[in-house]
Amino acid sequence: MVRGEQTVFIADDHQIVRDGLRALVERAPGLRVIGEAADGRALVEGVRALHPAIVITDLAMGELNGVDATRQLRAGGFRGPIIMLSMHDERRHLAQALGAGVNAYVHKAHAFEQLLEAIGAAQHGRIWLSPQLAALAEEGRVATLLELLSMREREVLQLLAQGRGTKEVAAQLLLSPKTIEVHRLNLYAKLRVNNVIELARIAFREGLVQL
Protein backbone atom coordinates (compact mmCIF):
# COMPACT_ATOMS: atom_id res chain seq x y z
CA MET A 1 0.00 0.00 0.00
CA VAL A 2 2.94 2.35 0.54
CA ARG A 3 3.73 3.89 -2.81
CA GLY A 4 6.94 5.69 -3.74
CA GLU A 5 6.01 8.92 -2.04
CA GLN A 6 3.04 9.88 0.09
CA THR A 7 1.92 13.48 0.17
CA VAL A 8 1.05 14.99 3.53
CA PHE A 9 -1.05 17.96 4.54
CA ILE A 10 -0.50 19.49 7.99
CA ALA A 11 -2.93 21.57 10.04
CA ASP A 12 -2.10 23.19 13.38
CA ASP A 13 -2.78 26.67 14.58
CA HIS A 14 0.80 27.35 15.69
CA GLN A 15 3.27 27.93 12.94
CA ILE A 16 6.27 26.80 14.99
CA VAL A 17 4.50 23.50 15.57
CA ARG A 18 3.75 23.21 11.84
CA ASP A 19 7.40 24.01 11.04
CA GLY A 20 8.50 21.31 13.45
CA LEU A 21 6.10 18.71 12.08
CA ARG A 22 7.14 19.57 8.54
CA ALA A 23 10.81 19.10 9.43
CA LEU A 24 10.04 15.77 11.09
CA VAL A 25 7.79 14.48 8.31
CA GLU A 26 10.25 15.40 5.59
CA ARG A 27 12.98 13.54 7.42
CA ALA A 28 10.88 10.39 7.16
CA PRO A 29 11.50 8.47 3.95
CA GLY A 30 8.55 8.35 1.59
CA LEU A 31 6.69 11.34 2.99
CA ARG A 32 6.49 14.82 1.53
CA VAL A 33 4.56 17.80 2.87
CA ILE A 34 2.55 19.50 0.14
CA GLY A 35 0.59 21.98 2.16
CA GLU A 36 -0.38 23.30 5.55
CA ALA A 37 -3.17 25.21 7.23
CA ALA A 38 -3.66 27.13 10.45
CA ASP A 39 -7.28 26.20 10.99
CA GLY A 40 -9.92 23.65 10.05
CA ARG A 41 -11.50 25.76 7.35
CA ALA A 42 -8.14 26.19 5.57
CA LEU A 43 -7.46 22.48 6.04
CA VAL A 44 -10.67 21.52 4.24
CA GLU A 45 -9.92 23.91 1.39
CA GLY A 46 -6.30 22.80 1.16
CA VAL A 47 -7.24 19.14 0.94
CA ARG A 48 -9.83 19.92 -1.71
CA ALA A 49 -7.23 21.78 -3.77
CA LEU A 50 -4.14 19.63 -3.29
CA HIS A 51 -5.40 16.07 -2.78
CA PRO A 52 -2.83 14.92 -0.23
CA ALA A 53 -2.57 11.22 0.62
CA ILE A 54 -2.40 11.85 4.36
CA VAL A 55 -3.71 14.53 6.70
CA ILE A 56 -2.16 15.35 10.07
CA THR A 57 -4.32 17.75 12.05
CA ASP A 58 -4.44 19.27 15.48
CA LEU A 59 -7.64 18.89 17.45
CA ALA A 60 -7.97 22.43 18.81
CA MET A 61 -7.88 25.10 16.15
CA GLY A 62 -9.63 28.39 15.59
CA GLU A 63 -12.38 28.67 12.98
CA LEU A 64 -13.13 24.97 12.72
CA ASN A 65 -11.76 22.30 15.02
CA GLY A 66 -10.04 19.13 13.92
CA VAL A 67 -13.02 16.89 14.60
CA ASP A 68 -15.44 18.97 12.60
CA ALA A 69 -12.87 19.43 9.85
CA THR A 70 -12.49 15.64 9.72
CA ARG A 71 -16.23 15.25 9.34
CA GLN A 72 -16.17 17.72 6.44
CA LEU A 73 -13.22 15.99 4.80
CA ARG A 74 -14.95 12.61 4.99
CA ALA A 75 -18.19 14.13 3.74
CA GLY A 76 -16.21 15.67 0.89
CA GLY A 77 -14.93 12.26 -0.15
CA PHE A 78 -11.45 12.26 1.37
CA ARG A 79 -10.57 8.64 2.10
CA GLY A 80 -6.91 8.79 3.12
CA PRO A 81 -5.50 8.53 6.62
CA ILE A 82 -6.36 11.39 8.97
CA ILE A 83 -4.09 11.54 12.01
CA MET A 84 -5.38 13.64 14.84
CA LEU A 85 -2.97 15.27 17.27
CA SER A 86 -4.19 16.36 20.67
CA MET A 87 -2.72 18.62 23.30
CA HIS A 88 -4.02 17.35 26.54
CA ASP A 89 -5.09 13.78 26.79
CA GLU A 90 -8.60 14.69 26.01
CA ARG A 91 -10.30 11.40 26.49
CA ARG A 92 -13.55 13.22 26.04
CA HIS A 93 -12.70 14.00 22.44
CA LEU A 94 -11.49 10.57 21.47
CA ALA A 95 -14.91 9.09 20.83
CA GLN A 96 -15.97 12.10 18.80
CA ALA A 97 -12.76 12.01 16.80
CA LEU A 98 -13.21 8.33 15.99
CA GLY A 99 -16.85 8.98 15.16
CA ALA A 100 -15.83 11.74 12.79
CA GLY A 101 -13.58 9.34 10.94
CA VAL A 102 -9.99 9.78 12.10
CA ASN A 103 -7.60 6.85 11.72
CA ALA A 104 -5.29 7.70 14.55
CA TYR A 105 -5.32 9.79 17.67
CA VAL A 106 -1.89 10.80 18.92
CA HIS A 107 -1.18 12.85 22.00
CA LYS A 108 1.38 15.63 21.45
CA ALA A 109 3.19 14.38 24.52
CA HIS A 110 4.21 11.28 22.56
CA ALA A 111 7.28 10.98 20.40
CA PHE A 112 7.16 11.68 16.71
CA GLU A 113 7.93 8.00 16.13
CA GLN A 114 4.45 7.24 17.38
CA LEU A 115 3.06 9.56 14.76
CA LEU A 116 4.96 7.70 12.05
CA GLU A 117 3.72 4.42 13.50
CA ALA A 118 0.20 5.84 13.40
CA ILE A 119 0.65 6.83 9.74
CA GLY A 120 1.90 3.34 8.94
CA ALA A 121 -1.02 1.72 10.70
CA ALA A 122 -3.51 4.02 8.99
CA GLN A 123 -2.04 3.16 5.59
CA HIS A 124 -2.76 -0.45 6.33
CA GLY A 125 -6.32 0.39 7.20
CA ARG A 126 -5.84 0.06 10.91
CA ILE A 127 -6.87 2.47 13.63
CA TRP A 128 -4.01 3.60 15.81
CA LEU A 129 -4.45 5.01 19.29
CA SER A 130 -2.01 6.09 21.95
CA PRO A 131 -1.65 3.04 24.23
CA GLN A 132 -3.40 4.51 27.27
CA LEU A 133 -6.26 5.74 25.11
CA ALA A 134 -6.56 2.38 23.37
CA ALA A 135 -7.11 0.78 26.76
CA LEU A 136 -9.88 3.27 27.47
CA ALA A 137 -11.52 2.84 24.12
CA GLU A 138 -11.49 -0.93 24.43
CA GLU A 139 -12.84 -1.18 27.95
CA GLY A 140 -16.00 0.38 26.63
CA ARG A 141 -16.29 4.04 27.37
CA VAL A 142 -15.17 6.59 29.89
CA ALA A 143 -18.15 8.25 31.44
CA THR A 144 -17.46 11.92 31.82
CA LEU A 145 -19.56 14.15 33.92
CA LEU A 146 -20.97 15.57 30.74
CA GLU A 147 -22.35 12.25 29.58
CA LEU A 148 -24.87 12.43 32.37
CA LEU A 149 -26.45 15.28 30.52
CA SER A 150 -28.84 15.41 27.63
CA MET A 151 -27.93 17.27 24.42
CA ARG A 152 -30.07 20.20 25.41
CA GLU A 153 -28.53 20.39 28.84
CA ARG A 154 -25.00 20.38 27.45
CA GLU A 155 -26.01 23.10 25.05
CA VAL A 156 -27.46 25.21 27.84
CA LEU A 157 -24.46 24.53 30.07
CA GLN A 158 -22.12 25.62 27.32
CA LEU A 159 -23.91 28.90 26.77
CA LEU A 160 -24.22 29.61 30.48
CA ALA A 161 -20.52 28.93 30.97
CA GLN A 162 -19.76 31.34 28.19
CA GLY A 163 -21.22 34.00 30.42
CA ARG A 164 -24.63 34.26 28.85
CA GLY A 165 -27.53 34.93 31.21
CA THR A 166 -30.73 32.92 31.30
CA LYS A 167 -32.55 35.37 29.03
CA GLU A 168 -29.77 35.45 26.48
CA VAL A 169 -29.56 31.68 26.34
CA ALA A 170 -33.31 31.54 25.88
CA ALA A 171 -33.12 34.05 23.04
CA GLN A 172 -30.34 32.14 21.35
CA LEU A 173 -32.14 28.80 21.56
CA LEU A 174 -35.54 30.31 20.80
CA LEU A 175 -36.98 29.08 24.07
CA SER A 176 -38.69 30.67 27.03
CA PRO A 177 -36.40 31.91 29.82
CA LYS A 178 -38.51 29.70 32.07
CA THR A 179 -37.37 26.66 30.16
CA ILE A 180 -33.75 27.63 30.56
CA GLU A 181 -34.30 28.06 34.28
CA VAL A 182 -35.55 24.51 34.49
CA HIS A 183 -32.58 23.24 32.52
CA ARG A 184 -30.31 25.13 34.86
CA LEU A 185 -31.96 23.58 37.91
CA ASN A 186 -31.68 20.14 36.35
CA LEU A 187 -28.01 20.79 35.66
CA TYR A 188 -27.51 21.73 39.32
CA ALA A 189 -29.15 18.47 40.35
CA LYS A 190 -27.26 16.28 37.90
CA LEU A 191 -23.89 17.84 38.53
CA ARG A 192 -24.51 18.28 42.24
CA VAL A 193 -23.73 21.93 42.50
CA ASN A 194 -25.88 24.83 43.45
CA ASN A 195 -24.82 27.88 41.58
CA VAL A 196 -23.86 28.93 38.08
CA ILE A 197 -20.21 29.39 38.86
CA GLU A 198 -19.71 25.79 39.86
CA LEU A 199 -21.56 24.89 36.71
CA ALA A 200 -19.21 27.04 34.65
CA ARG A 201 -16.25 25.54 36.44
CA ILE A 202 -17.33 22.05 35.41
CA ALA A 203 -17.79 23.22 31.83
CA PHE A 204 -14.25 24.63 31.84
CA ARG A 205 -12.79 21.59 33.54
CA GLU A 206 -14.46 19.20 31.12
CA GLY A 207 -13.39 21.27 28.15
CA LEU A 208 -16.93 22.09 27.05
CA VAL A 209 -15.94 25.74 26.96
CA GLN A 210 -12.52 27.13 26.28
CA LEU A 211 -11.13 29.14 29.16
Partner DNA sequence: GCGCGTCCTAAGGAACTTCCTTAGTCCCCG
Partner DNA sequence: CGGGGACTAAGGAAGTTCCTTAGGACGCGC
Binding site for DNA (CB under 7 A): 150-153, 165-167, 173, 175-179, 181-186, 188, 194-196
Q: Is residue 14 a contact residue for a second copy (CB under 8 A)?
A: yes
Q: Mutual orientation of helices 151-161 and 196-205 as an angle, nearest 10°? A: 100
Dihedral sign (CA 31, 37, 39, 40)? negative
Which residues of 49-124 form beta strands (DSSP E)? 54-58, 82-86, 104-107
Phi and psi torsions of 175, nearest 5°? -125, 170
* Least distance in angstroms from the C-beta of 175 to DNA: 3
Instruction: Report what 16 binds from a second copy, DNA, none; CB cut-off 5-8 Å by kind.
Output: a second copy
- Cβ distance to a second copy smaller for residue 74 or 108: 108
DSSP track, 162-174: TT--HHHHHHHHT
Instruction: Report what 179 binds from DNA, a second copy, none; CB cut-off 5-8 Å by kind.
Output: DNA
Containing 9, the helix (H) or strand (E) segment is strand 6-11
Instruction: Report what 135 binds from a second copy, DNA, none; CB cut-off 5-8 Å by kind.
Output: none
Contact 84, 47 (CB under 8 A): no
Q: Is residue 148 a contact residue for a second copy (CB under 8 A)?
A: no
Q: Name residues whose C-beta falls within 8 Å of residue 18's C-beta, 6 or more positions apart in sequence.
A: 10, 11, 12, 36, 38
Q: Is residue 36 a contact residue for a second copy (CB under 8 A)?
A: no
Instruction: Report what 85 binds from DNA, a second copy, none; CB cut-off 5-8 Å by kind.
Output: a second copy
Instruction: Report what 167 binds from a second copy, DNA, none; CB cut-off 5-8 Å by kind.
Output: DNA
**Residue 183 carries which side chain, given as an amino acid letter?**
H
Q: Is residue 5 a contact residue for a second copy (CB under 8 A)?
A: no
- Cβ distance to DNA smaller for residue 41 or 154: 154
Number of residues that bind a second copy (CB under 8 A): 36
- Cβ distance to a second copy smaller for residue 74 or 134: 134
Phi and psi torsions of 110, nearest 5°? -85, 165
Q: How far apart are CA 138 and CA 66, in angstroms?
A: 23
Task: Provide the binding-site residues for a second copy, judged by CB under 8 A.
Answer: 13-17, 19-21, 23-24, 27, 38, 85, 87, 106, 108-112, 115, 160-163, 165, 193, 195-198, 200-201, 204-205, 211
